[in-house]
Amino acid sequence: MKIKIRRILAIAFFLWLGSLLTVFYGVQKPAFLQVASGLGATAGTVLVTLVVLADAAGLGSWIIERLRLLELQAGERLVLGSGLGLALFGLAGFGLALIDLAKPVVLLVLLGGLLVWLIWRGQLRTRREDLKELIRDWKETILATPVWVRAAIALAILLTFLLALAPPVEAFDALLYHLTVPALWLRDGGLRLVDIPHYWFPSLIEGIFVWPMALGSDTAPQLVHFSFGLLTALLLWDWARRLWGHRVARWTLALLLTMPSLLWLAAWAYTDLALSFFALAVLYTVWKWKETSDPGWLFLGGAMAGFAMGVKYTSFPVPLTGVLLILVWGRRTRAGLLGVLQFSGLALLVALPWYLRNYLWTGNPVYPFFFGGPFWDAFRERMYAGTGTGIGWNLGELLLLPLTVTLGYRDQNYYDGRIGPFFVILIPVALWTLWRARRESSSRQHALLAVTSFAALNSIVWVIGVVQTDHLWQSRLLFPGLLPIVLVMAIGVETLEQLDTPVLKISFVVSVLMGLMVSATLLDFGLQVAYRNPILVAVGAETRQSYMARIQPGYAGALELVGQTPADAYIYFLYEPRSYGMPRRVQPDPINDNLLHSLYVYGNSDAAVAAWRAQGYTHILIYRPWLDIDLKAQPQLPAQLEQVMNSLRLMGRTASGDYELYQILPP
């Protein structure tokens, strides 16, 4: 057969094969083809996260290498460098969004260019060697760890990772501002004078979220927060291992697993674990300065303190603790005073962008607190503060506070307010450990002083808050101080063997109870993850809308109601603080005071509605359950609301009746 004929027949058979397979699979529609887009989206999310993490680790570690720190180990360089690099990505993300350059093409060029530069400079190869050394140390700890702890660590990481792949529809504060703020930056091409106080909170982590969100993934921010959780655990483990050995390091990890909320928070697009990492990094670097007398460690610690100040306003105990430790260890010497100036000066410089932004836009560097500003007045200050709603200086309440926090029934949020029982159980053990510390080496004493002083200061600030207002009754605000104190408790657990008797092996009892607690925590978390079944969404077998309707039917209904309005609608929310994902221009109710504040400012219902019209609002969305609470608490509100309703026309409500959409009638 001639070559030409063979070619024609081969091409014909190829076309025949292709057409038959296309028709067959077009009719049969195998599951793989149906989920291909979902798998592609998930793969893209993971890839973007990995590239950001690789670039951050390479860049941050390269900067740390330039400091030429004394006694710098590979694990320290990798963990601290990753956190440093992510913080720089946060500043860069905010800066690019500010000048409207956070575009996919620009970000891809920057990510790719930085990756190429790191490869060219050999940084990724060096980081791979650092990772290998870290893994070798990790294996030594694992070999000294009971099987149940190994299994629990692996299962916790797997379950948290799976939950982090779910659409971000459940975490309240993510929908309120952690995702909303970067989404507004990207939508508006920069900053706008927005009537959302949380918009002006320090936004370093939201700056990191800009990168994946501009590239089309709002799930990747959850993986970023998960990464901060891993970095925090690794740094705490490494510190424990270096000073007390692998047995204390394993108990440190086991105690972290007894905190149910830790896993939930790690899977959400929050910022608490990022603040926990930077706080721990400050304690660690200041301790390293004490051990080495190398001022470079204070330089790094000052930067970490500044990054902490860029995460939350409530971070001020972090730099304050650093300054106090430097003063105590510097013993008022010239080197100590210079250390304070270096540490605090760099911290303020690194934190400056957020406070300067607020001053330029609102005239208040810590907007809306202390000095007020646009959209803020005495009424809103009272509403936000909730002064007088706390526990007050009731001695009984204060003494029971550790137990009350542990039980979690008063927390503002259920899932992110459970710290587990072992913090209270091990208080005597922790106190015993601190008492015995006077016989420890100076390195151990300094480490214990660092973590204990910060935990105490952070707790005092939190207690003062809950004394004044129940708005601050959120146990997750304790996490930056609770996580380091786990180190003290782990040392105590390890020394419990000294209390063992032939009749009662108390160390064995504690170990068994801790194992049961961790098992119960992981079983509960596993069942919750299984119920949500994020794998279905991750592989594309369930749509995002279907997942939201199943897990958050109320908010899904609100999105649907808002989506039914005209494209040019401008919707005023009453008692709904969240606005992420809303398909129309909206004004959320971030502190649930829009209605009461309007009545306060404009004097009566008719004037309030007239003001809404004048500001361009066309519709009102009401969340009824929270409105009903105010109707019971405010005697004059029912009559005022009735007058407001005379100027509105009902357009629809959700199936549950929780949300109602109204059109504002013309005058």
Of 549, 557, 566, 568, the residue nearest 657 (C-alpha): 557
Q: Residue 375: which residues within 8 A CB-CB, separation 6 or more? A: 195, 197, 368
609 contacts 644 by C-beta, under 8 angstroms: yes
C-alpha–C-alpha distance, residues 470 and 353, integer Å = 31
Strand-pair partners of 620: 572, 662
Q: Residue 149: which residues within 8 A CB-CB, separation 6 or more? A: 250, 253, 254, 257, 515, 518
Of 382, 359, 383, the residue nearest 371 (C-alpha): 359
Rg of the chain over all Cα atoms, to the nearest angstrom: 27
The pLDDT tens digits for 219-232 are 999 999 999 999 99
C-alpha–C-alpha distance, residues 49 and 65, integer Å = 24
Q: How far apart are the first and last CA of the chain?
A: 88
C-alpha–C-alpha distance, residues 434 and 445, integer Å = 9
The pLDDT tens digits for 463-521 are 998 888 888 788 898 999 999 999 999 999 988 888 888 888 888 888 889 999 999 99
Query: Is cis: bond before 402, omega within 30 of 0?
Result: no
C-alpha–C-alpha distance, residues 428 and 499, integer Å = 13
Tokens representing 488?
């003290």
In one letter, which amino acid is 22? T
Pairing of strands 585-587, 619-623: unpaired
Element counts in the chain: helices (H) and strands (E): 31, 5
255 contacts 484 by C-beta, under 8 angstroms: no
In one letter, which amino acid is 99? I
306 contacts 446 by C-beta, under 8 angstroms: no
Query: Is cis: bond before 212, omega within 30 of 0?
Result: no
Residue 327, H or E segment: helix 317-330
DSSP 397: H
In one letter, which amino acid is 661? L
What pLDDT shows up at residue 117?
A: 95
How would you classify residue 293: left for phi > 0, otherwise alpha for psi between -120 and 50, otherwise beta?
left
Measured on CA atoms in the order 48, 49, 51, 56, is the torsion positive or negative? positive
What pLDDT shows up at residue 33?
A: 57
C-alpha–C-alpha distance, residues 623 and 643, integer Å = 18
C-alpha–C-alpha distance, residues 267 and 160, integer Å = 6
C-alpha–C-alpha distance, residues 627 and 642, integer Å = 13
Q: Residue 25: which residues within 8 A CB-CB, separation 6 or more? A: 33
Burial (0-12, 13-18, 19+ Cβ within 10 Å), 519? middle
Phi, psi for 617 (deg, rounded to 5) = -70, 140
Phi, psi for 493 (deg, rounded to 5) = -60, -40
Write out residues in the chain with pLDDT < 70, as ranges: 1-2, 21-22, 24-36, 332
Q: What is the 3-state secondary structure (H, E, C) of 65-111?
A: HHHCCCCCCHHHHHHHHHHHHHHHHHHHHHHHHHCCCCCHHHHHHHH
What pLDDT shows up at residue 41?
A: 86
The pLDDT tens digits for 376-421 are 999 999 999 887 777 888 888 888 888 888 888 778 787 777 888 9
Fold of the domain built from segment(s) 552-664 = Rossmann fold (3.40.50)
Domains of the chain, by residue range, sit at 3-33, 552-664
Residue position matching structure tokens 């025949």:
16
C-alpha–C-alpha distance, residues 273 and 165, integer Å = 18
What pLDDT shows up at residue 643?
A: 95
Quickly count: other Cβ atoms within 10 Å of residue 277's Cβ.
Answer: 32
C-alpha–C-alpha distance, residues 184 and 256, integer Å = 35
Measured on CA atoms in the order 290, 293, 294, 299, is the torsion positive or negative? positive
139 contacts 242 by C-beta, under 8 angstroms: no
